Amino acid sequence: MLPFSTPLTEIKGIGPRIADKLAKLKLRTVKDVLYYFPFRYQDFSKISKIADLSEEQIATIYGKIEKVSIYRTPRRHMWIVEATITDETGKIKAVWFNQKFLINTLKEGKTANFAGKTTADGKKLSLQNPMFEMLSDEFQETRHTGRLVPIYSQTTGITSKMIRFVLSRVIPLFEDAPEFLPEDTVEKFQFPPLARAFTDIHFPKNLEGAQKAERRFSFQDLFLLQLINASEKYSLSQQKSYSCDYSPEFIKEIFSFLPFELTLSQKKALYEILEDLKKSYPTSRLLQGDVGSGKTIVAAIAALVAAKNQKQSVFMAPTEILAKQHYETFKKFFEEFSDGVALLTSSQSVAFYGNSLETETSKKELVSQIKNGKIKIVIGTHSVIQKYISFKNPAFVVIDEQHRFGVRQRAELVHSTEFIPHLLSMSATPIPRTLALSAFGDLDLSIINELPKNRKPIVTKAVSSANRQKAYDFIAKHIRAGRQAFVICPRIEPPDPEAPLTPRQLFQLEVKSVKEEYEKLSKKIFPQFKIALLHGRMKSTEKQKTMQDFKDKKYDILVSTSVVEVGVDVPNATIMMIEGSEHFGLSQLYQFRGRVGRGEYQSFCFLFSDINSRSTADRMRALVNAKNGFELAEIDLRLRGPGQFLGQEQAGMPDLAMKAIQNPELVKVARETAHDIIQKDPQLKKHPYLAAYVKTFKEEVHLE
């Protein structure tokens, strides 16, 4: 068998011209094309007689080419090729538009299959742009007609026919492809062997065969993903970590100093994290919760437990403004218990020690205190990962919105391979449970699914074009009363789905969109108010200054793209206005809405949309009625698929795995099978083919 990495140019019949075209779809090796699965099938399996055809029928006919002609339309100058096809029952005209080259392919007197949809041309039927396949006789095996025909995603210059041709050259070379799935798994679920599965999914004899092959590949991708997760979890269990015990009395004492009561789900999540900290090997946990659900408080209490054990914790935030916000949380709520808390960013180095005053200190002195253990809790951005910053006894790492932070990254952070700290990843993005178990299966899961008590529900309204001015007047009234407003600009959709924009082009369009909205609001709608602009093209320092100025009430309105800082707490902001709300997923809209309602005032969310469709109305109703973000995430998973949670490119997950994630039973079986194998054979020494597959799969996926 050829190696899967064999370039397509080394396959007989596939020259540089075809290979260059396929490269546009990132199909460069035999593996790329074998795993480029069809998105649907066209049933051309039944051969019909011409006399039996009816209007709008999808059919295949076998006949002789009697006459071929070509002409050009006078007005649009379009080339049209026509052929008359006959069989023993009658004749029909086939027409092709803008395919001048066919005049050299369609030879009079030759026989062929023609497959397509019939249309009425006056009283006569015709086939428009049918697929065809030249045949020497009626019983010759076919690829493009007379069967269940796979249809693939295409791009300019590449057709499904070309992809089928390439596969017809590649698949026969893999008839002896070794099976890498465990034998008992293949038997238990009646999966076709790998070699047959390639044939059945690309050239199926029937729909049942195609579906069985698809199920096998869906399981395969999920299984490989779960093996990577299980392997990561196993390797962590073989490492050492500092164990941090806790007493219920200490936790109760912390609770007594808080000016509010933790919710039940906060307490449950906290105790799950505290049980992790007791373990002598490094643990990994994903803490999910809506914006404003109190994740930081929970993580902070866990860090205080580590400090009580004379161990260190590190909080890593994505931006300086969020790092400062975490630091202020410790100062505000936990000053009594926080003996040695430092904020360390590129622009600031401060610390406080218990009840003593905050001290501005040099970065050099702070680094020294981290090294000798005087500083127990370090809060910063990724800048805390520096060669010159070392820790005395790091036990706990907390990170925001980054789910992967494995053994190597943790070892780099603390400059130690002997003791690896426990990890808590906090995410405000509600991810459906099946998706979380699939993509982040090496992390245990904790969920905070309720908001703090006495939090006023945010009033949410869908605003039509006719009611825009009323909404503007309402917003102006609240700003005059001293409140502030966020305005989120619509995500830009590519004008032509067949020719998607590059990330750079999309980025430029989004910046243009937010600038136009800023101009409209500042000059026409709200000229009396101070308005700030925020978008992804601004430098990090500019974005942070703008966000801080808005938080400090220097601006009344902040106009932003969807990159507005996650988790930034602006209690005085009570209005969230979202333009083009139909372009965003429900979970994203829910997150935007969660940026307001953080203070004592009643908050409002206005969903502006110029599309009055039933689906838009249904989605808006779901947003208004949902109890929490996880409920919406499940709806979004059904409506829009998993790509919008992970980002298809960022996820790196194969299409079938992305689709299979929506099947909880398949996820469960793949997870259990993978964990069972890793428990019995951690290094996969008894499964060499599987080990090789896992290695290449791990290189291809890049989950974050």
How do residues 89-116 score in pLDDT, each as one tens digit? 999 999 999 888 899 889 999 998 999 8
Evaluate whether 491 touches 562 at the Cβ level (below 8 Å). yes
Say yes or no: domain 248-278+293-427 is CATH 3.40.50.300: yes
Q: Does the structural domain 1-43+148-176 have CATH classification 3.30.420?
A: no
Q: In what order do the strands lie in the sheet with 394-400?
A: 359-360, 349-353, 339-344, 377-380, 312-316, 394-400, 422-427, 284-289, 444-448
**Residue 304 reports pLDDT greater than 90:** yes
Q: What is the pLDDT of residues 279-302, one digit of tens each?
A: 999 998 989 888 778 999 999 999
Q: Kindly tell me if the per-residue pLDDT of 356 is higher than 50.
A: yes
Q: What pLDDT does residue 556 have?
A: 97
Contact between residue 38 and residue 151 where contact means Cβ atoms under 8 Å apart: yes
Answer whether residue 649 shows pLDDT above 50: no
Evaluate whether 248-278+293-427 and 459-627 have a shared fold: yes
Average pLDDT, the chain: 85
Q: Specify the CATH number for 459-627; select among 2.60.40.10, 3.40.50.300, 3.40.50.920, 2.60.120.380.
A: 3.40.50.300
φ and ψ of 201, to 5 deg = -90, -30
Least confident of 187-196, 351-360, 506-515, 518-527: 506-515
Which pLDDT band, with edges at 50, 70 and 90, does 498 fall under?
Answer: very low
Residue 650 has pLDDT above 80, yes or no: no
Q: Which residue has the tokens 């040099």?
A: 362
CB 365: neighbour CB atoms within 10 A? 12
Check pLDDT > 50 for residue 381: yes
Per-domain residue ranges for the chain? Answer: 1-43+148-176, 46-146, 248-278+293-427, 459-627
Q: Could you read off the pLDDT of 225-282 as tens digits, one per residue?
A: 889 889 888 888 898 999 999 999 999 999 999 989 999 999 999 999 999 999 999 9
pLDDT value of residue 123: 80
Both tokens of 425, joined, read 């990843």
Residue-level pLDDT at 494: 45
Closest CA to 485 of 475, 471, 496: 475
pLDDT level of residue 653 (50, 70, 90 thresholds)? low
CATH 2.40.50.140 fits 46-146, yes or no: yes
Cα separation, 342 vs 361, in Å, equals: 10
The pLDDT, as a whole number, for residue 651 is 42
